[in-house]
């Protein structure tokens, strides 16, 4: 009997998304992963997944570029960032289109993401000012003391799918401004926009090797976490991976900041303007299909606020237009993958079984069936212990928990394992001020549902939403990407010199 040879697998005709090493697009050497258009459900490209040797190439390139980059003057670094800023503005529609194509969010939302990322570049343009040290003349007689901040070397950034441009910009703007070289490992689910960011930086004058982009999965992340030449790691993603990255990176001697997941509660007090609170809850819960770490996922309706608020939210949801992100009439796009959409749908199924009330059911919608769409869902009478309350869902599902008092609502916020963002809606300034004092959450909104701080503050949650002690971007970003050195100097007359074994004192 003749053996039948298996038919050779035809080479893929899909476009390949390569790495960016030493200032050039660089094809990968092996494994790839499909990249989908979530609005159509179709595979549209393959992204290269780096193996250990490819990550090593990126780190080697970054290491080689470091000495010259750290010697580059502050004003030149600032000039390059200004040039980058101009290019980001000029190309924002192209960047937004790439985000929508792979992530699914609407074009307007992608432009919003870019605008918030841009703020970080503008902040970093001020690096000559940001890196000014302190100087104490005459700390002791004839002795001056001053402090300087120096870059760490090669630093790595590992980023999530939900903000494929903004989160890389949170990291790399400050890291590069401070004189570090950078290896970025973006999400493998929507990787393309980072290549355009790298190209724009090159056009603006960034020397080759200062920024490298390696696509990949756990293999690439693990190599970055253990590579002896990587000095620090910034991570943004889900809590289990954030904790893993923090523990593994610090065990290997690295400075690590790892931002994790969230379950953001919005308290609505009985005195709040119900229409204003309902508009805010809908905007914050369903924008970007709920795939935002600062999305409101739980409304805590206090006392008499509950019934009118649930009605007001429910009334708004059928009017939300769900559809492809590149359709200008869509307000909410699809979820990132089919598996994630099905997982989110599973939470709605379970909520019903667990006794909650599905007031608006997003499982029924009119968006294209082949895309990864789910409609806006509102679940009332949710309780702690139900899966839809306990887990981060990361989809267009808003849970309402009814609380009798402010104290009961506050206890729920403070006993939640996450502490990323929260908000209170009220007309009572005293109540809001008390909340700001009481609440154990890193970012607080008062009548502001998505309180993402401006770039000159820093972004970070508490508890399981952040591992490490430095928040991201803003002043804490500059602190994270530099280390301090203090110089004590004197210029004595040699004629006065003598041996003195006493411990130096200053008086």
Indicate whether 168 belongs to the interface with ligand NAD (CB under 6 A).
no
Contacts of residue 118, Cβ cutoff 8 Å, sequence gap at least 6: 85, 88, 89, 169
**Residue in 37, 100, 159, 264 binding ligand NAD, rule: CB under 6 A:** 159
Q: Which region, judged by CB under 6 A, interacts with ligand NAD, from 80-88, 114-122, 173-181, 184-192? A: 184-192
Q: Decide whether 102 or 380 has the Cβ nearer to ligand NAD.
A: 102
User: Mutual orientation of helices 429-438 and 406-415 as an angle, nearest 10°?
Assistant: 30
Which residue of this chain has its Cβ atom nearest to ligand NAD in the complex? 237
Distance separating alpha carbons of residues 181 and 156, to the nearest angstrom = 9
Q: Decide whether 33 or 150 has the Cβ nearer to ligand NAD.
A: 33
Q: Cα-Cα-Cα-Cα dihedral of 338, 343, 344, 348, to 10°?
A: 130
Distance separating alpha carbons of residues 435 and 433, to the nearest angstrom = 5
Q: 191 to 220, contacts with ligand NAD by CB under 6 A?
A: 217-218
Binding track over 102-131 against ligand NAD, x by CB under 6 A = ------------------------------
Indicate whether 161 belongs to the interface with ligand NAD (CB under 6 A).
yes
Helix/strand/coil for 405: coil
Indicate whether 391 belongs to the interface with ligand NAD (CB under 6 A).
no
> Taking the complex as a whole, how short is the minimal distance between the CB of residue 309 and ligand NAD, in angstroms?
25
**Residue in 22, 37, 120, 162 binding ligand NAD, rule: CB under 6 A:** 162
Binding track over 409-448 against ligand NAD, x by CB under 6 A = -----------x----------------------------
Contacts of residue 108, Cβ cutoff 8 Å, sequence gap at least 6: none
User: Which sequence positions are flagged as catalytic?
Assistant: 293
Indicate whether 190 belongs to the interface with ligand NAD (CB under 6 A).
no
Q: Decide whether 225 or 386 has the Cβ nearer to ligand NAD.
A: 225
Indicate whether 221 belongs to the interface with ligand NAD (CB under 6 A).
yes
Write out the two tokens for 492.
């004595």
Indicate whether 158 belongs to the interface with ligand NAD (CB under 6 A).
yes
User: Mutual orientation of helices 107-124 and 74-90 as an angle, nearest 10°?
Assistant: 170
* Strand 42-48 with 16-17, pairing: parallel
Contact call for residues 28 and 54 (beta carbons, < 8 A)? yes
Distance separating alpha carbons of residues 194 and 168, to the nearest angstrom = 8
Task: Quickly tell me which residue has 């390569």 as its tokens.
Answer: 18
Instruction: List residues binding ligand NAD (CB under 6 A).
Output: 158-163, 185, 187-188, 217-218, 221, 236-238, 241, 259-262, 293, 392, 394, 420, 461, 465
């Amino acid at each position: 009997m003749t053996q039948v040879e298996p038919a050779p697998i035809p080479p893929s005709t899909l476009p390949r998304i390569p790495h960016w090493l030493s200032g050039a697009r660089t094809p990968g050497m092996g494994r790839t992963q499909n990249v989908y258009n979530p609005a159509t459900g179709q595979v549209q490209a393959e992204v290269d997944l780096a193996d250990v040797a490819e990550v090593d190439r990126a780190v080697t390139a970054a290491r080689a570029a470091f000495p010259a980059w750290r010697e580059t003057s502050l004003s030149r670094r600032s000039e390059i960032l200004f040039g980058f800023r101009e290019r980001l503005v000029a190309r924002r529609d192209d960047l937004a289109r790439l985000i929508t194509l792979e992530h699914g969010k609407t074009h307007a939302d992608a432009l919003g993401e870019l605008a918030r990322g841009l703020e970080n570049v503008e902040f970093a343009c001020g690096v000559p000012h940001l890196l000014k040290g302190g100087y104490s003349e005459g700390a002791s007689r004839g002795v001056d003391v001053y402090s300087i901040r120096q870059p760490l070397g090669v630093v790595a950034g590992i980023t999530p799918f939900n903000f494929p441009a903004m989160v890389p910009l949170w990291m790399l703007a400050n890291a590069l401004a401070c004189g570090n070289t950078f290896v970025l490992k973006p999400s493998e689910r929507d990787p393309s926009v980072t290549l355009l960011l790298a190209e724009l930086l090159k056009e603006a004058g960034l020397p080759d090797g200062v920024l490298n982009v390696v696509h990949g999965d756990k293999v690439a992340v693990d190599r970055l976490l253990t590579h002896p030449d990587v000095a620090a790691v910034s991570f943004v993603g889900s809590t289990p991976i954030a904790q893993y990255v923090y523990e593994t990176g610090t065990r290997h001697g690295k400075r690590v900041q790892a931002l994790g997941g969230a379950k953001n509660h919005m308290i609505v007090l009985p005195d709040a303007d119900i229409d204003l609170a309902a508009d805010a809850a809908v905007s914050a819960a369903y924008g970007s299909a709920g795939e935002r770490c600062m999305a409101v996922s739980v409304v805590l309706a206090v006392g008499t606020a509950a019934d009118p608020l649930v009605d007001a939210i429910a009334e708004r949801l059928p009017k939300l237009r769900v559809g492809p992100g590149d359709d200008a009439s869509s307000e909410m796009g699809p979820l990132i993958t089919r598996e994630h959409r099905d997982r989110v749908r599973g939470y709605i199924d379970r909520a019903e079984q667990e006794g909650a009330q599905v007031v608006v059911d997003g499982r029924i919608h009119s968006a294209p069936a082949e895309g990864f769409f789910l409609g806006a869902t509102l679940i009332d009478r949710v309780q702690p212990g139900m899966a839809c309350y306990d887990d981060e869902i990361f989809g267009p599902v808003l849970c309402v928990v009814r609380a009798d008092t402010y104290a009961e609502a506050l206890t729920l916020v403070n006993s939640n394992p996450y502490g990323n963002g929260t908000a209170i809606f009220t007309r009572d300034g005293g109540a809001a001020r008390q909340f700001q004092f009481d609440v154990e959450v890193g970012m607080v909104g008062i009548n502001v549902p998505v309180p993402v701080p401006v770039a000159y503050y820093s972004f970070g949650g508490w508890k399981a939403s952040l591992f490490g002690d430095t928040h991201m971007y803003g002043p804490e970003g500059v602190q994270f990407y530099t280390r301090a050195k203090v110089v004590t100097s004197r210029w004595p007359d040699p004629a006065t010199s003598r041996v003195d074994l006493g411990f130096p004192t200053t008086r």
